[in-house]
Structure 1
Amino acid sequence: MPFLEDLYEATHENVQLAVRDGLEGRIAVLREPEGRGGSAFVHERLRVGETVRVRGPRNHFPLRPAGRYLFVAGGIGITPVLPMLRAVDAAGADWSLLHGGRTRGSMAFVDELTGRYGERVAVRPQDETGLLDLASYLGAPARDTAVYCCGPGPLLDAVERYCAANGWPEPRTERFQPKARASSPEAPFELVLARSGLTLSVPEQASVLETVRAAGVEVLFSCAEGTCGTCETDVLEGVPDHRDSLLTAEERAAGASMLICVSRCRGERLVLDL
């Protein structure tokens, strides 16, 4: 149970926590008044000296080797980008960051970033410069250059559209909210849990995760909306109907795993490693 070493206001809307238990970590939490209560708990209930239980970490936004990196962060989306910047900078890689937000005062870690990295970081608050100019920043695709982006859904959608329209490889993104998707048929299908020896029926009105848990099989899950990856499960047979906001196009095409909180089956039978 890590010890909360420090708790303070990082900006008008963000709380920063330093966690220590042999190792140190830092978590930035945006206060979301319309959320499910997690950020309100951090902002209103946690105090210096309290202990909290943590799980993980689970990294579904990995930094992969590349000759050059272009980072785009919107608002609190800067949080997972921070350790990436430290890693690529320490390795001597060529990189830059485009960091946007509603206002300069609402953007976390601005002083730290500009003070440490200087002109590699372009800070662009919307009330000062408008929406991020992705065309000027990304430009034409360059050899061995990777694009990483985290932030609000509209920003990630814009980055993905720009890359797809201009010949870039698929960018690596991390979302806090699921993509808006057209509704798909909710046909029932047979679900086989290979390790548990169970054959279940997934009805129209229930998810795979709900069906599995109702049968008494414990599965780790968190967001239940296809963004965090906690419930990712290996597929042994069948074709998943991917409805998540996490897996890449290549991972979906391979069909080796699925997020069972939202994804279903394209056929009549699915076998999972559960």
Structure 2
Amino acid sequence: MSDTTRDGLADRFEENRPRLRALAYRTLGSAAEADDAVQETWLRLDRAGAGEVDNLPAWLTTVCGRICLDMLRSRTTRREQPLSEINDPPSAVESVLADEVEAALLIVLGTLAPAERLAFVLHDLFAVSFDEIAVVVGRTPQASRQLASRARRRVRAAAPAATEPRGRAVVDAFLSASRGGDLGALLELLDPDVVLRATGEAARLDAQGERRGAEVVARYFAGKAQAAVPALVDGAWGFAVFIGGELRVAVAMEIKNGQILGLTAASSPAALAGLTVTPL
């Protein structure tokens, strides 16, 4: 490949770079890894040469998607990077997503299987057809459609949590205080008029199935939540208890301005079957 041809190919690649980086970031959740994926995409294009590529944008999407999928599958740990840590101008990444979806994606995408995550990102955020996605993920178009559909349901279920971005920190602090029996910390997190409600056998409460007031609720949870993990419960911040891989208890929280206004607990099989619970 002549230097002139290579320069022309590089220019065409640069035209596609913002889109590729947005795709890689949405798939990987890390700006550094996204840069690595885009750089590897360029190296593969450079090796292939212009003569091997008929539709450059589609080729780049396929190659970048496969690289991201391989990186997801080989990853042993994941750190989702907040969008604010990216130095690109808004048009490069932030405009890819509607504002109300952004926070929910950062929460939920990390819980999806690699192929689900990539299928969702490619189709719902970049309008790639399922025929093309099938090539990237190594599935049939129908199977690719199902991957994206499952991911979409989980993202939609998580959307309400985006309205309280500090919710995860509140949940973590609540569970830590509960496990440690720290009444003071619990009282700081609970609204004075907080209400704990239960369905089925989620808690042994009074005849009305609820407890009211910060001190009452704090004393109820002090020393508990030993096996609880943060979770999204029908899109609300909360926590869940799994025993032997089976969901036993789910608690949804109503959080506003960093304080817990209410908790709704469920543990009966019927109640739990009607919930969408996503461990975080």
Q: TM-score normalized by structure 2?
A: 0.26
Q: Which has the higher strand share?
A: 1
Computing the radius of gyration from Cα coordinates, the structure with the larger value is: 2
Which of the pair is proportionally richer in helix?
2
